[in-house]
Chains A and B, each alone.
Chain A
Amino acid sequence: MSHPGVTTESRLVRMLLIGTAGLIVGLLLLMPLLAVFIEALRKGWEVFLASLHDEAALSAVKLTLTAAAVSVPLNTLFGVGAAWAVTKFRFKGRALLISLIDLPFAVSPVIAGLVFVLLFSPHGWFGRWLEEYDLKVIFALPGIIIATMFVTFPFVARELIPLMAAQGSDQEEAAVTLGARGWQIFLRVTLPNIKWGLLYGVLLCNARAMGEFGAVSVVSGHIRGETNTLPLHVEVLYNEYQFSAAFACATLLALLALVTLGIKSAIEHFTGHRHHGRH
């Protein structure tokens, strides 16, 4: 146990610093969050509820849920596969592969949308071919799903890779020795060890999938009631000066963010991972 006096500040300095930090977090983060709810309820509950019951809003919610329901499971599958490949085996180009998985984080969401427009729009690389088979990707659901998959691609893998690397492969090797088969090893040995990290990754992936704006905005075409996801619907309402309705729909997304943060904190608390123990 160290003498407390020499490695901390005086009481006054501590109070001042805590006050400063509180002010920064309050002004920069808490105020915008509160503003969403205050603006949403500015014209009362009726307007608020009516905005959520609006047909365009409901179809936007449905589209957002659909896009997430396809992209999140696929990216989860990818994340598990990628983490398995790069943590259980050593091979040439492994470090490069790990960096490439992070690539979408470095790409502006707008560019993520643009690349798919270049590929699938009528004048794009596959445009002619898609037209022949009467398939529509851009300004339609498939484009929205693909763009969402692009931007949420790294989340699960990125959460699992450090976790599985730290855990090593001893348990899996023991299971092989005992005669376990491939999927058995994964389901019985690996999965229980990574379940919290996996849940955390899926959660972040889902939050981003439902909230994605830039990439989806480029490929969606903003067709009301058809290709507007919830964030795009918020944008349309806001640009039409229907502020209360825009903020009402925004509360759904803000609640999604709060739930995500709440579960994240709970997982951290529960597993003790990143738990700030003093000693």
Chain B
Amino acid sequence: MNEYILQVRNLHKYFAELEVLKGINLDVSKGEIISIIGSSGSGKSTLLRCINFLEQPTQGQIIYHGVNFTERQQDLIDLRKNIAMVFQQFNLFNNLSVIDNLTIAPVKVLHKDKTASKAKAMEILDLVGMKEFAYKNTKLLSGGQKQRVAIARSLMMDPEIILFDEPTSALDPEMVGEVLDVMKNLAQTGITMLIVTHEMQFAREISDRVIFMHEGIVHEEGLPEEIFMHPKETRTQDFLKRVIKG
């Protein structure tokens, strides 16, 4: 019954001689919200980037709905249509207005009608509280606003899964809240989310499952309560002690 929509099998990733991922296994069910925590350089972001092939896995399998995309790379676009990504640096398209940032992929990739896409974009912008900025230049937005637009952009594709790669790490502290609020609202909708984050409180509140990564392997995983309140591994304990103190 419990069928996984996304499975990562024995994933290895080398950057030249450096082994960043050392055999990751991960199963994701529909609607699940998973937070990935760990110190810098533990491979969290690389894992996320391998899932939609922004990084080419060196070894292992990425299986989405039973299809092993490591062997079906010519169909990568099908995978990416369904797995959206939100970046630490927002990565908005600077030559396009806010609304065009949202509509370009549906119109060009999914061949959706332009006016219908615009209407939908306005709804989604309303959802993230950015409706009045629809026709603004992206340069004029604050970091928090940019990230909310980036989230809206990812939603335009009606993805099954959204990958969040440290979505609040590049933000000024006072802007973190607005982005986390949007993500919390999103979590209510039943969409599947994989979140790499350093916001421990947030991870604890929102997640169904928390994964602690260390030096390229999944060191510990479990319910948020277990990981945050009763971490079994000493590494996890050390990490949490350091982070929560800070």
- Do chains A and B interact in one complex? no
